[in-house]
Amino acid sequence: MRRGVSRFSRRTAILCVLLSVLIVVMVAGGMVLSAIGEVSRHANQLDDDRSRQTTQGAVKTFLSQLGATLNDYAAWDDAAANAYAEDGMAWMVSNFGEMSANSALFDIALVVDGDRNVILAYEDGLPQTVPPREFFDDALWRLLDEAKSPERTDKPEARGFVHSKKGIAATGVALIRMKSGTLDQPPEKRRYLVFARHLDGQVAALAETYVIKGLPLASPDFNATNYVPIWD
């Protein structure tokens, strides 16, 4: 009887040890899998953060490039000489309006005065068929007011994103003036150059340039967890 009890006890002990080892292995395996999942989740989060930061930088760069182009055209001695001349329309058409054709920098060019009267309106190199007041939302005129602000005396320009009939456009407004910044025109006669470049068709180019996979231009109601708002 003692020998049978001894064998039974040894078997029980062995089974207990094996069961303990199995439990330890299962717990350790679960911890490893959990750690792998956490590392994977963290890596995905880092990828999302990097993509978001890169996209934010790309959008800001796109708007900055438009602003730099606008400054080159608006703060230009020839522009200041012709935009205010009675016979300057042909020059503005040639140097502002027609330059919007097949341009990677801007697809709309306007010349307006401080009272929002439109003097020139071109789209893709041709006269615009829809009046700017109907084509753009009020954000365009807020940019004009910002460019006219006394706080912008040193650099009378403003830029931002604006809704239009075609979608979303990076838009800039700048006072037409001499390269030096001077202008011998009273406030009521001043004219402003407007350049706009729609993002439609440009997003793919931005994604390729900045190596951002799966970068669409989405509507505000698009359901996404990782996105970059273009404006507040």
CATH number at residue 127: 3.30.450
Region of poorest pLDDT, from 3-12, 147-156, 159-168: 3-12
**Across 165-169, 172-176, 224-228, which has the greatest mean pLDDT?**
172-176
pLDDT at res. 232: 43
Domain boundaries, position 19: 1-34
> Is residue 149 in a domain?
yes
Rounded CA-CA distance 134/164 in Å is 8
Looking at residue 1, its pLDDT comes to: 47
- Indicate whether 121 and 185 sit together in one domain: yes
Q: How many CB atoms lie within 10 A of CB 173?
A: 28
Could you report the per-residue pLDDT of 98-142, keeping only the tens digit for each? Answer: 999 988 889 999 999 999 999 999 999 999 999 999 999 999 999
Per the domain annotation, does 195 fall within a domain? yes
* Residues 99 and 190 reside in one and the same domain: yes
The model's pTM is 0.73
For residue 19, being part of any structural domain is answered with yes
Mean pLDDT of 82-92: 97
Domain count, the chain: 2
User: Looking at the structure, do residues 10 and 60 belong to the same domain, yes or no?
Assistant: no
Read off the pLDDT of residues 9-27 as tens digits, 9 standing for 90 and up: 777 777 777 777 667 767 6
Query: Tokens 């604006």 identify what position?
Result: 162
- Helix intervals (H) in 75-171: 77-83, 89-92, 132-135, 139-148
Residue 193 — left, alpha, or beta (φ > 0 → left; ψ -120 to 50 → alpha)?
A: beta
pLDDT grade, residue 92 (50/70/90)? Answer: very high
Whether residue 19 is found in the same domain as residue 95: no
Q: Do 115 and 205 have their domain in common?
A: yes
- Flag whether 107 is in a domain: yes
